């Protein structure tokens, strides 16, 4: 495969141009484009340019507004509600997260309820942003059903990822972002596209039988990681991103979706905690003692370190396949 070496800004420009050409305004286009560029930069190709055709499809179908004007309401001293105005999540997050950080810095904890929005990106950018402000960040979201509850063979949960970030002293935050599915849907899609097989335990085929074929799993059902415990987390996430903030459960998102190839409408639950308000003397130094002990054990690695390693390499340029660039040019 032929690759083109691009800078972060060139990726943002290319994705922005494509979104502008399909009806998004500057603010929405650049916010989505930055989320794509961050994913490409950090080696998360399943959330990079790979998502752009879906974004464009939903602009074309009219499902998602490319001119959304997200707004933030302060519901209590510790709760903000971020209304995406029927647009994509990235602009709503760019506007909402500073408000979330502001309330958490005053009361020690803030909830951000992101609604009326279409989420098609990774979660680590939002929790990393929260941690860059010295706070602990947590986020979760749902999608359409593709994961079966423990014991079942029909889907009910989305892949329902959750992300967590801890702000480190003189270091980049510790961040994890993981699907409660045994594998992220994007990764299975990539495996299907590239003709790879998957480990046992990732999913069942359309008849409810175990399979290692990614295409059969995409036609069938994925499984939660770790059996009923992962399923418990998936239930918790459904309740946090739907019932508690008044947005769609995964099963409702699917029923209401027009299946244009883009994301369904659904909420995101965000939590920011300011360690300076919880009574500890020095959370940051204390945490470093834990990380030091952790890394002293043979075989460990810091969650998120591969993303940072890719990011370091990306400062010299990011490889994007010629095929991908042609696909994007064809969307304009």
Q: Which residues bind a copy of itself (CB under 8 A)?
A: 73, 75-79, 81, 106-111, 113, 115, 136, 148-154, 156, 164, 166, 174, 176, 178, 180, 225-230, 232, 235-236, 238-240, 242-246, 249, 251, 273, 275, 277-281, 283-284, 286-287, 289-290, 293-294, 297-301, 303
CA distance 136 to 205: 39
- 47 is known as an active-site residue: yes
Please identify, using beta-carbon distances, which residue of 21 and 244 lies nearer to a copy of itself: 244
Concatenate the DSSP letters of all residues of 112-142 into one string: EEEEEEE--S-SHHHHHHHHHTT-EEEEEE-
- Kindly state the smallest distance separating residue 65's Cβ from a copy of itself, in Å: 20
Please identify, using beta-carbon distances, which residue of 150 and 325 lies nearer to a copy of itself: 150
Q: From the candidates 47, 65, 146, 254, which is the catalytic residue?
A: 47
Within 10 angstroms of residue 19's Cβ, the number of other Cβ atoms is: 27
CA distance 79 to 170: 30
Which residues have a Cβ under 8 Å from the Cβ of 48 and sit 6 or more positions away? Answer: 36, 37, 39, 40
- Kindly state the smallest distance separating residue 203's Cβ from a copy of itself, in Å: 15
Concatenate the DSSP letters of all residues of 220-287 into one string: SEE-BTTTHHHHHHHHHHHIIIIITTT---HHHHHHH---SSSPPB--EEEEEE-GGGTT-S-HHHHH
Please identify, using beta-carbon distances, which residue of 33 and 136 lies nearer to a copy of itself: 136
- Kindly state the smallest distance separating residue 276's Cβ from a copy of itself, in Å: 10
Q: From the candidates 128, 187, 238, 247, which is the catalytic residue?
A: 187
Please identify, using beta-carbon distances, which residue of 24 and 136 lies nearer to a copy of itself: 136
Q: What one-character DSSP code corresponds to residue 29?
A: H
Q: What one-character DSSP code corresponds to residue 43?
A: T
Token pair 């990726």 is at which residue? 11
- Kindly state the smallest distance separating residue 224's Cβ from a copy of itself, in Å: 8
**On the CB side of 257, how many CA atoms lie within 13 Å of its CA?**
22
- Kindly state the smallest distance separating residue 297's Cβ from a copy of itself, in Å: 4
Please identify, using beta-carbon distances, which residue of 13 and 105 lies nearer to a copy of itself: 105
User: Residue 159: which of 18, 288, 8, 46 has the closest Cα?
Assistant: 46
- Kindly state the smallest distance separating residue 213's Cβ from a copy of itself, in Å: 22
Task: Point out the residues that are catalytic.
Answer: 46-47, 187
């Amino acid at each position: 495969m032929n690759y083109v070496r691009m800078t972060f800004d060139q990726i943002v420009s290319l994705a922005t141009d494509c979104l502008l050409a399909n009806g998004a305004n500057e603010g929405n286009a650049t916010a989505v484009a930055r989320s794509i560029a961050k994913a490409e930069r950090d080696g998360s190709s399943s959330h990079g340019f790979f998502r752009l055709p879906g974004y464009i499809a939903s602009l074309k179908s009219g499902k998602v507004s490319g001119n959304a004007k997200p707004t933030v309401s302060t519901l209590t001293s510790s709760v903000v509600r971020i209304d995406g105005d029927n647009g994509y999540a990235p602009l709503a997050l760019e506007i909402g997260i500073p408000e979330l950080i502001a309330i958490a810095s005053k009361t020690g904890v803030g909830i951000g309820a992101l609604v009326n929005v279409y989420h098609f990106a990774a979660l680590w950018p939002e929790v990393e942003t929260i941690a860059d402000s010295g706070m602990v960040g947590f986020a979760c979201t749902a999608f359409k059903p593709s994961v079966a509850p423990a014991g079942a063979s029909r889907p009910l949960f989305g892949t329902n990822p959750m992300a967590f970030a801890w702000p480190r002293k003189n270091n980049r935050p510790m961040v994890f972002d993981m699907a409660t599915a045994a594998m992220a849907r994007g990764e299975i899609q990539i495996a299907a596209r590239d003709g790879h097989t998957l480990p046992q335990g990732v999913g069942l085929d359309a008849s409810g039988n175990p399979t290692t074929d990614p295409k059969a799993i995409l036609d069938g059902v994925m499984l939660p990681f770790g059996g009923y415990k992962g399923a418990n987390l998936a239930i918790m996430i459904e309740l946090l991103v739907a019932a508690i903030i008044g947005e769609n459960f995964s099963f409702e998102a699917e029923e209401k979706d027009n299946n244009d190839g883009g994301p369904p409408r659904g909420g995101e639950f965000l939590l920011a905690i300011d360690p300076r308000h919880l009574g500890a003397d020095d959370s940051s130094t204390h945490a470093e003692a834990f990380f030091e002990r952790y890394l002293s054990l043979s075989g460990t690695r810091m969650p998120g370190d591969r993303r940072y390693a890719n990011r370091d390499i990306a400062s010299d340029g990011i490889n994007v396949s010629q095929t991908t660039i042609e696909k994007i040019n064809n969307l304009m």
